[in-house]
């Protein structure tokens, strides 16, 4: 049995393309692998807190030294990290906002990138602790940000996600990018059709 963590980050509901596509991936996977366990977290409708000063103090100090205030400050982060590490694979639905990710997803990333939990600092430097796992990241974008597009240089979404997840050791990542969603009906229909085909291929190979 494989444990999958499915996360959506769009504040939209039925109008969200990233939600629709991530749901299609998970539903398709579940149809092929009914024995697998899927946990779901909706960051768009139930955001997690941003880090604050007590969180930083708790994150960079030994748990046995924590006051009740610091214990509470890091509690949600501990829950999120435990959930993240319990999964073998991840499915993320992430719309592009202002060439990058929504603040809801950034707040989540800040909560789970933790010293001695998801990365280590040792004499050799920084080392990711999240190893042997896979992720599919399904994005929705208003414009065309493919390598051949003049907008390609503005894509800070995929490079950032590859960098931050790679930093904690998660390097086996497949991106399915639905581009051109606000460039007219024909472009949107074609892009969504291509994304759905990529989802089916990913399910078969994942």
Nearest-angstrom CA–CA distance, 91 and 6: 5
- How many CB atoms sit inside 10 A of residue 101's CB? 24
Cβ pair 116, 122 in contact under 8 A: no
Walking along the chain (206 residues) 10 residues at a time, the average pLDDT comes out as 97 96 98 97 98 98 97 98 98 98 98 97 91 98 95 97 98 98 96 97 95
Query: Residue 66's pLDDT is what?
Result: 97
Domain 3-205: assigned CATH number: 3.40.50.360
Domain boundaries, the chain: 3-205
pLDDT value for 124? 82
């Amino acid at each position: 049995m494989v444990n999958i963590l499915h996360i959506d980050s769009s504040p939209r509901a039925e109008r969200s393309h990233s939600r629709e596509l991530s749901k299609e991936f998970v539903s398709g996977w579940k149809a092929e692998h009914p024995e697998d366990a899927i946990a779901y977290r909706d960051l768009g409708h139930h955001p997690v807190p941003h880090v604050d000063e007590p969180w930083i103090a708790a994150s960079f100090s030994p748990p046995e030294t924590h006051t009740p205030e610091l214990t509470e400050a890091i509690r949600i982060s501990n829950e999120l990290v435990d959930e993240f590490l319990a999964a073998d694979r991840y499915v993320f639905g992430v719309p592009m906002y202002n060439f990058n990710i929504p603040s809801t997803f950034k707040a989540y990333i800040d909560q789970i990138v933790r010293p001695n939990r998801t990365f280590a600092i040792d004499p050799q430097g920084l080392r990711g602790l999240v190893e042997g796992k896979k992720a599919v990241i399904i994005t929705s974008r208003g414009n065309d940000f493919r390598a051949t597009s003049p907008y390609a240089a503005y894509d800070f979404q995929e490079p950032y996600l590859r960098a931050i997840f790679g930093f904690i050791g998660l390097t086996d990542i497949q991106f399915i990018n639905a581009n051109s969603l606000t460039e007219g009906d024909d472009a949107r229909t074609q892009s969504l059709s291509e994304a759905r085909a990529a989802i089916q291929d990913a399910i078969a190979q994942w």
